[in-house]
Structures are given as C-alpha cells and as structure tokens.
Amino acid sequence: MIRSRILSAGGYLPAEVVTNDELAARHGLDTSDAWIRERSGIRQRHFAAPGETASSMGAAAAREALTRAGIGAEEVDAIIVATSTPDSSFPATAVRIQAALGITRGFAFDLLAACTGFIYALAVADSLLRAGSARTALVIGTETYSRIMDWSDRSTCVLFGDGAGAVVLRAEEGEAGILSCHLHADGRYADILHVEGGPGSTGTAGLLRMAGPEVFKHAVNKLSAVVEEALSAHGLGPQDVSWLVPHQANLRIIRGMGRKLGLPEERVLVTVDRHANTSAASIPLAMAEAMAEGRFRPGDLLLMEAIGGGLTWGACLARW
Ligand code: UT7
C-alpha cells in the first residue's frame, strides 16, 4: 500500500525571546508571569524581527527538514503552506518559499484553517501523494501572530508567538506513514476566534479576537471526540499511541488530553511553555524538536490533534 511517509521535520524560531514579564512591561499590561503560567503554561515566546515574514521563516524550517531528510530541494514537487498570517494576500506564501528554495517545478499553494492548518495541510498533502499527483511534498506551518495582536487586550496578546515548522512527506510503499486524517469545521462558531477584517473587507489587516473560555470548552470536547474517531477508525486504542503531538495552545488542554489517553507526561510533546501558541506552526515545530532529540523510533504511532478558528479541528495518525 502507498502511504505518505513523514521523512523528517524541521523548525525555525526567530531570535528574539520575550518573557512574560518583558511582554507585560513592554505593553504596560495589567497581568503577571504567575497568571500567564498558571492559566496557559506559557513562560516566553519568540517574535519575528521586522524583516522576517511567514515565507522567510517557512523557508528556513523547510531547509532544515530537507537537510535532515537528506533530500535535495529539486526533489520536491508539492509545497503546501498552512498560514493565517501570509506575507500578502497573493501570491501564496508557498510560492515565495518555493522561490527561496530555488524550486522551479511542481505546484505550491496556501491553505487556511487557523490553528488547525497543519492538520488540514497534512490531510490534503496525503491525499495528493496517494493519488499520485506528487511524490515528495513539503508541508509547512508558518505564522507571524505578533503582527495581528491587539497589545491592549491582555486576554489574548500574552498567548501567541511566531515561528515555522515543516515536514517532508514522500509517497512510499510500506507500513510507515500517515494512516488517516480526520477533519471537521463548524462555521457557526466563526466569531469566537477570528481576525477582524482583512484585505477583502476593510482593506486593512485586522487584529485577532478570541473568547478564550468558550474556545477552551470546545477544545476539550471536540479534541476528545476527534481523537476517539481517529483511533477507532483503525481499531486502535489509547494504549497504542506512542506520542501525542498536540497543537500547543494551552498546557491545561494538552495535559488533560494526555491524562485522558493515559499517556505518561514524557510521551506528550510540549513546547507551549517556550514557544507560546504559534498556530499552524506549533505541531511541526514540536515534531522538529522531537526529531532533533532523536525521540521518534520506527514503528512509533504519532497522534496529532488541533483546534482553532473556524471553528476547525482535526486529528492525524501516523506510523513513524
Ligand atoms: O489555538 C486556538 C485554540 N485556542 C485555545 O485553545 C485557547 C483556549 N482558551 C484558553 O486557553 C484559556 O481560556 C485562556 C488561557 C485564554 C484564559 O484562561 P481562563 O482560565 O479561561 O481565564 P478567563 O478568560 O476565564 O479569565 C479569568 C480571569 C478574568 O478575570 P475575572 O473576570 O475572573 O475577574 C480575566 O479578566 O482572568 C482575567 N484575565 C487576566 N488576568 C491577568 C484574563 N487575561 C488575563 C491576563 N492576566 N493576561
């Protein structure tokens, strides 16, 4: 059977690291390091420098992923970028990355599913590879959320960071690779987590708004349901999961899911403490870190899950 095998992951984090105290002081926020840590698990975040964009960071993450896989850029024939903070409305951030990598063949496009973007992009890439439309794909999540923050809104601006992650997928015969992806959306909840306006409406890029506690409740219920859906599709149970690779929005949500699955804490990848919420970049960034540490072993079962603006949510199961 042909599967989309994950050959490697790479990441990029901008150099500037901002702690909770530094962020509060910088914007005169009525908050505290203790509140942010206790409610979200976040200690610090990285912020892109003025010249850095979703494409420059995405290209850096892609380069690391390709190097780690031992794959030349010329072998890539599909680039799918998940981002809600693209360099511009068009062309797609994906083609900017394609050019930065010196690739002149294949196809490249962006996809938007907010914090679920990487799961959606993985699902689309998997379908294209298994259909024979491409053989080697880069799937990239890259975000500059620092550019859509309302720095006067302490309930959201302390939660997000910038960064990029990428994986290399290749269509290969065998047991390793993506087993299935399970996608959901419910636009009735569009307004509980959204960006106000945009080039197609107000003519300006808007700011992020989130009804945090409401999103939190949806996250707990919908992530549990989609994880159950993914496992039962293969007759698998929580005991079969080697690694939980969750979207990194809130440590309480992540730990809650780990406990529900009965996984020991060291089997749950956590970066939210150091990266904050990097939206579509958070899952591939966590994978890149785990790969650099040599944590994944052949045969390991990875369970990825995310929820975000839309609402959108989903899960993917992959055999390493
Ligand atoms: O990535 C996409 C998916 N996103 C998520 O999954 C995020 C889901 N939501 C969350 O992670 C949490 O809801 C938050 C971290 C956003 C907030 O945590 P919470 O425990 O739900 O707090 P809350 O919003 O209910 O606020 C509790 C209190 C409020 O004060 P009162 O009304 O109890 O007096 C807030 O005004 O904390 C206050 N508060 C703050 N205090 C200090 C809100 N933000 C802050 C802050 N510093 N930064």
Cα 180 to the center of its chain, rounded Å: 17
Tokens linked to 92 = 């797609």
What tokens appear for 223 in the block?
């992530």
Full set of structural domains in the chain with CATH: 2-174 (3.40.47.10), 178-271+280-319 (3.40.47.10)
The residue contributing the CA closest to ligand 1 atom 44 is 155
The finding on whether 194 has its CB within 6 A of some atom of ligand 1 is no
Residue nearest ligand 1's atom 42 by CA? 31
Predicted confidence at residue 122, as pLDDT, reads 98
Q: Specify whether the CB–CB gap between 230 and 316 falls below 8 A.
A: yes
Residue 74 has pLDDT above 90, yes or no: yes
| Residue 155 Cα to ligand 1 middle (Å) | 6
Which of the four pLDDT bands, split at 50, 70 and 90, describes residue 205? low
Q: For 117-171, how does the pLDDT look when each residue is reduced to its tens digit (9 = 90+)?
A: 999 999 999 999 999 999 999 999 999 999 999 999 999 999 999 999 999 999 9
221 is catalytic: no
Q: CA torsion, points 142, 147, 151, 155, in degrees to nearest 10?
A: -30
pTM of the shown model: 0.97
For the Cβ of 220 lying below 6 angstroms from any atom of ligand 1, the answer is no
* C-beta of 187 in contact with ligand 1 (< 6 A): no
pLDDT category, 40, cuts 50, 70, 90? very high
**CA-CA distances (angstroms) from residue 106 to 66, 125, 152, 278?**
16, 13, 43, 28
- CA–CA separation, 82 and 192 (whole Å): 20
